[in-house]
Structure 1
Amino acid sequence: MEAKFLSRSSIYKGDYDCLFRTPKNEMRSNLHYHDFYEIVVYLGNAGIFKINGKEYLIRRGDIALINMFDPHTLIYNKNTYYERFSISIDPNLLLSFNTAQSNLLDIFSKDSRNYPIFHVEGKCFDKYLRILEQYRDQKPAHGKDIFEKALIHQLASYLFSDCYDGIHFDNTDSRHVSMIAKLVDYINKHLSEDLSLGVLAQEVSYSEYYICRIFKKVTNYTLTNYIVEKRIAQAAHYLTGDMTINKAAEKVGFNNYSYFYKTFKRYMGMNPAEYKEQHTQANNN
């Protein structure tokens, strides 16, 4: 099964999101990838987690670390109750937490023995539960975003303490991820504009060849294909609402409707009109 790009617009706005999920509000079990990091704390036996071609039977106390662009999905039992706490975090926000002594990229390294799933229990698990309880029950009347980011920051420090196993991102690798984070941020903010390789290269002050090579090396996806998939995923998100097909195409940078039509059908398996009709019917039921 080929992984589909998941638009962050269908998940969150801003630079992070925190959400409790149960079978009632769970995502569909489709293999997908996205351009942000994800941390999931499982509070129950949720099913089978697939990532990078491997399967993991999830139990209470498991914590999943999901790197940018890693294909994954959760195959869950709709009839079995569980709860999981999911944190979606923009790469630039994650990188802002790093210090000279602690690089959070280290725990997202595929070479780490604790990636992508590690297990905690007892007092070690309790400290994570206390953060989740604070998030659920102790929201301030003002400064909610500051409070939530402080909890995420604290949780990240626990993760680094529990997961770090000596595998270290060197400075070159960290610079590569930082460059990709800047590219992702620029593309997110300028999706309707010119996203040619020349424009992107100028934005991060590297050559076109270099940004394409490093993007492919780090993510396993080509930069140009990522942009197309991101545009189509965003257009699909727009079409689930009231936006017209022409407007959706324009908003994501397609000036040629025929090309948009063919590209949308190739990635989504149906044309834009069929997709919009399907979701209009679903919303009316």
Structure 2
Amino acid sequence: MIRPDFECYHYCDLVPPEVDFHEHEFYEVFFFLSGNVSYNIEGRTYLLRPGDILLTDNQDIHRPEIRPGKPYERYVIWITPEYLMEFEDFGVNLTDCFKDASRKKNKLIRPDGKSIAHLKGILDRILEARDSGEFGSAVLESVYLCEFMVYLNRAYFSTPDIIAEDITENEEINKVVAYINENISEDLTLDRLSEICYFSKSRLSHQFKKYTGLTIFQFIIKKRLTMARNMIRDGVPVTEACMQCGFNDYSNFHKAFKKEFGACPKDFRRT
């Protein structure tokens, strides 16, 4: 992100782009409009229908898989947690949908047709205000974003459970992913992880890659780096973040961090 509050974009690709697994420092709202797309978030794959919305927070490792045949169209909204927290003074927590989705491990919203049209209309007004040079456009942009988040939360908390039919997952792999997330500072060996799901080490390795799209080692390193980045961003000293996220060697942490985020940990903290 360039801005300190939020950014909104409307994209349409005729040729499917290649997207690697990644994560953000901010919240992301992915509003799907068209295409042949499934979306992997932390081992769960969501088969998307037009109008579906996905919520990811600043720890989720995710990637869309875009297949040819249809234009790939979507809105993407990036929002910093700090910006949404400013609205708590009005007695409302606009981050509730993100927090509840993370708690339930279900990131999919499937609004009804009326809600889809309403949310899309608000996003179009955000983009119009962003590109306008008229008086008060920046204020309107923020007002529209606040309105969007109110109705997004309403859509989230009224989404029926039936959408689970379009989620591909493996409960045993979900347990392993949860264990990794909750014990990131520990020695996460293949032997220990195989005990969690009662799989052999070879079967665990195969199933983990099948459902998450990453090897166990790749997932653990990316998750450790993501958590370390968030801790550094929140003011935790670099060496402390390194140790708390399971890196026992600072030089390896330094190299991996720079490769993942394009800056060494201390430079990232300064910026």
TM-score normalised by length of structure 2: 0.57
**Structure 1 residue 235 and structure 2 residue 262: aligned?**
yes
- What are the superposed Cα offsets for residues 212-249 of structure 1, whole Å, 9 maximum, x if unpaired? 4xxx6xxxx87x8988655434437xxxxxxxxxxx99
Contact 2:9 2:77 in 1 (8 A): yes
Q: How far off is 1:26 after superposition?
A: 7.1
Residue 184 (structure 1) aligned to one of 233, 244, 253? 233
Structure with more relative contact order (C-alpha pairs < 8 Å, separation 6 or more): 2
Write the distance in 1 (CA, Å) between the matches of 2:4 and 2:91: 27
Give the structure-1-normalised TM-score.
0.55
| Runs of at least 5 residues in structure 1 that lack an aligned partner in the other structure | 1-7, 166-179, 188-193, 201-207, 237-247, 254-285
Offset at 1:116? 0.2
- SS of aligned partner of 1:129: helix
Question: CA 1:226 to 1:71, structure 2 compared with 1: closer, same or farther past 3 Å?
Answer: farther
Which residue of 1 is the match for residue 116 of structure 2?
A: 125
1:22 aligns with 2:12: yes
Match of 1:107 among 80, 85, 97: 97
Partner Cα separation in structure 1 for residue 10 and residue 255 of structure 2:
31
Q: Which amino acid aligns with 1:141?
A: G
Contact 1:23 1:78 in 2 (8 A): no
For residues 28 and 88 of structure 1, the distance between their equivalents in structure 2, rounded to whole angstroms, comes to: 20
2:26 maps to what in 1? 36
Q: Which residues in structure 2 correspond to 1:1-285 (within 5 Å)?
A: 8=1, 12-23=2-13, 28-99=18-89, 101-108=91-98, 109=100, 110-112=102-104, 115-138=106-129, 139-142=131-134, 143-164=136-157, 183-184=232-233, 186=235, 195-197=238-240, 212=244, 230-235=257-262
Distance 1:99 1:249, change over 3 A: closer
In structure 1, C-alpha distance between the alignment counterparts of 2:9 and 2:66, rounded to whole Å? 17
Counterpart amino acid of 2:133?
A
Shift of 1:183: 4.9
Contact 1:18 1:86 in 2 (8 A): yes
Supply the distance in 1 between the matched residues of 2:267 and 2:156 (Cα, whole angstroms). Answer: 41
Aligned partner of residue 130 in structure 1, secondary structure: helix
Q: Is the contact between residue 91 and residue 181 of structure 1 (CA under 8 Å) also seen in structure 2?
A: no
SS of residue matched to 1:68: coil
Q: For residues 22 and 128 of structure 2, what CA distance do their matches in structure 1 show?
A: 31
State the 1:82 CA deviation. 2.9
**What is the Cα deviation at residue 60 of structure 1?**
0.8
Separation in structure 1 between the aligned mates of residue 110 and residue 254 of structure 2, nearest angstrom: 35
Cα distance in 2, alignment partners of residues 15 and 25 from structure 1: 31
Tell me the amino acid that sits aligned with residue 74 of structure 1.
Answer: P
Taking only aligned residues, the RMSD between alpha carbons, in angstroms, comes to 3.8
Task: Report the CA distance between 1:123 and its aligned residue.
Answer: 1.3
Cα distance, 1:26–1:82 mapped onto 2, change above 3 Å = closer
Secondary structure of the 1:49 match is strand
Shift of residue 151 of structure 1?
1.9
Aligned length: 193
Once the 2 structures are TM-superposed, how far is the Cα of residue 67 of structure 1 from its aligned partner?
1.4
